[in-house]
Structure 1
Amino acid sequence: MRVAAVAVLVGLLVTALVAGVFALLPGRWEGRVGLLALPSGSTGSALISESGVSTSYGEVVTLAMPSIADLVTSPSTLDAVAAAVPGSPPPDELADDVSVELLAGSGVARVSVRAGSPELAARLAEAFAGRVAAADLLAPAGTLRVLDRQATLLEKGPDLTLGVGLGLIAGTLAGLGTAAVLVRRVRARRGDARRSVLSTLVAAGHGIVPVLSARDADAGERLLVLARAAGGPVRVAAGSPGVADAVLALQSDLAREPGTGPGGGTDESLVLVVDRAADGADLDAAVRALRPGTRVLAAVVS
């Protein structure tokens, strides 16, 4: 439970941190300029090309308008705009910040440019729109006229939805990673505590005895099996401070089995309960204080 609580807490903190960083990111500005397709003054409802093929003005607009997106991201246009607008990002970065939206059936195209300041976003959008109008993509059927003398500006704040989503992913990974690390440490600590208890008992002449963990769900059942095999009364004793609750719990488990309760005779076996964080000196003192000939049935690390 403690590992799970720490892992959840770490996950929540990481989620909040990532979302908070996104919320504190500086806002971006978007400049927009519209372009309107208009027929040339001398253009009728149909045009006769040099090859003699009749083409309507609507067909010219339909075919030519999508090429605006290719025009604004062409190297020549990007280089020209970057050179003409002071403070512009390099052409390769500028290509990621410009976009074109075609309003279906209206003959209107909208050029949008994102930048870190409203002034730069406006100047860039106006420069791109000017380059598109000057390219005369609809000639001779029509022209593209810039609708806005000044760019329309929109403030684009940080994407909080994206920030929260990334925060949840990062928090989940951080929580799982924390849980994995803590579980490994707990298992390693349990193993170290068991080895320490066993080595102390062996050094005191009690031989190799089973060392159980009180946190194991089947520790009580395993102790009952050992008590039955011993065939006599079993006493549970504290081998270090801070294990009173564990001693009482194990005594309660043993009391369920007739004949395994404490008897006080010479055939009595001992279960020694030790705190996993106990000082080695406490355990040494407890083992040395045992009566000569005491049979240690098992040790339990709580």
Structure 2
Amino acid sequence: MTATATRPVAAAKVTATRPSGRRGDGFRQTVALSVLVGLVAGALVLFVVGMRNPLYEGRVGLIASPVSEQSGSAAQYGEVVSLVLPALVELARSPSVLAEATSRVPDGPTPAELGANISVELVPASGLARLSVRAPSAEAAGALVFALAGAIIDADLLQPVSTLRLLDDRADLTRVAPDWPLVIGLALGAAAAAGVATAVLRNLPRSGRSAEDDAVRAALESAGLRPAAVLRGDDPRLVDRLQMLCAAAARPAKALAVVPELADRAESLNRELAAKADGTAEADPAVIAVARRGRGPQDELTATVGVLPENTVLVAVVLT
């Protein structure tokens, strides 16, 4: 009886400092880990996509002009241009034109490589075509697009009533890859998705455990105690399980209610456990905390077990 009267006093210091910090630490750890994973994911996307070889596009225009102003030539010019100019798309990719274009650029690509990086855009009802060539450098893109345009002009596709001529004196050069606004957007999206996924996974109940179990374990951790078995009050074999735990601890059982409303349930458990005990154990009792069920923070449990003496053994928490 004397030991029982002194226990609450001996650990009163613990209660004032333990309950507040650990859940906040867990939240901060989740935030820090989510931010770290997000930064790593964003940096990885930036590295993989942003470090690709640069690609430039050179564009020039070709326009069809009539050869003469003789009577009837205007009608022939319109017919020829409308019928023949669409063939410019295929002419630009013909082996002879590609070979001629690559021969005009020292250290240029092969005809097959050039053919895979060109595009031809026809402007309807205008006699205008736009040639585009992509290359690893701006200088190469400009040189290749002019070489391709020259080879097409030399092919005299629209003779004898029309001819093609360059519309631009300088190529319009644009860097097309990597597209930095797109890369940055992808990196930010990947970082946000990775961070959110990490936070969600960190807050999911672990395999084989419920949110109630996690709340109990968080309460015990906040009180500075090791994890204990979490049992349900409606378990038909509850008393047998508690008896086995107390036998493993070599101590008699003592159920302790964490709130006054559960005092009757704790006394009922004490009577049932005492009825099955052999009455030989003389060590200090092993504590069984009786708490309310719920997924929220178990502050009452933290406060109750936090005032137990340091040598107290908590074997189980019964949720009822």
TM-score range, shorter chain: 0.5 to 0.7
1:79 CA drift (Å): 2.6
Q: Deviations over 1:28-73 (max 9, x none)?
A: 33222221101121554458xxxxxxx6421211222222121112
- CA distance in structure 2 between the partners assigned to 1:12 and 1:28 by the alignment: 27
Matched, 1:41 2:68: yes
Provide the C-alpha distance between the structure 2 equivalents of 1:92 and 1:252, rounded to a whole number of angstroms.
80
The question of 1:116 aligning with 2:136 is answered yes
The one-letter code sitting in structure 2 at the alignment partner of 1:76 is: S
Out of 87, 100, 115, the residue aligned to residue 95 of structure 1 is: 115
Task: Work out whether 1:67 is the aligned partner of 2:87.
Answer: yes
| Paired residues for 1:159-170 under 5 Å | 159-164=179-184, 166-167=186-187
Of 69-78 and 158-167, deviating more is 158-167
CA distance in 2, matches of 1:78, 1:107: 22
> 1:247 — aligned with what?
none
The one of 7, 10, 13 equivalent to 2:40 is 13
Distance (whole Å) between structure 2 residues aligned to residue 8 and residue 253 of structure 1:
39
Any idea what the Cα deviations from partners look like across 1:107-160, whole Å, max 9, x if unmatched? 221212122222211210111001111111111221111233443433445223
One-letter identity of the residue aligned with 1:10: V
- SS of the aligned residue for 2:99 comes to helix
Distance 2:183 2:257 in 1: 54
Give the structure 1 partner of residue 253 of structure 2.
none
Q: How many residues align?
A: 240
Matching residue of 1:252: 258
The answer for unaligned runs of 5 or more in structure 1 is 48-54, 191-212, 241-249, 274-288
CA distance in 2, matches of 1:125, 1:134: 14
Number of the residue aligned with 2:162 = 142
Separation in structure 1 between the aligned mates of residue 234 and residue 286 of structure 2, nearest angstrom: 14
Of structures 1 and 2, the one scoring higher in RCO (CA 8 A, sep 6+) is 2
How far did 1:11 drift? 4.5
Aligned-residue offset at 1:297:
8.3
Query: Partner residue of 2:233?
Result: 224
Task: Give the distance between the partners of 1:24 and 1:297, measured in 2 at CA.
Answer: 57
Q: Does 1:29 align with 2:56?
A: yes
Over 3 Å counting, the alpha-carbon distance change for 1:229 and 1:103 in structure 2 is closer
SS in 1 for 2:232: helix
Distance across 1 between alignment mates of 2:106 and 2:287: 83
SS in 1 for 2:58: strand
Amino acid paired to 1:17: L
Please state how far the C-alpha of 1:93 moved relative to its aligned partner: 2.4
Q: Percent sequence identity over matched residues?
A: 35
- Using the size of structure 1 for normalisation, the TM-score is 0.57
Letter in 1 for 2:66: P
- Post-superposition Cα deviations, 1:236-263, rounded to whole Å, max 9, x if no partner, equal 99x99xxxxxxxxx95279626141586
2:127 maps to 107
Change over 3 Å in CA distance of 1:251–1:9 after alignment to 2: farther
* Unaligned residue ranges in structure 2 (runs of 5+): 1-25, 217-227, 250-255, 278-284, 290-310
Report the TM-score, using the length of structure 2 for normalisation.
0.55
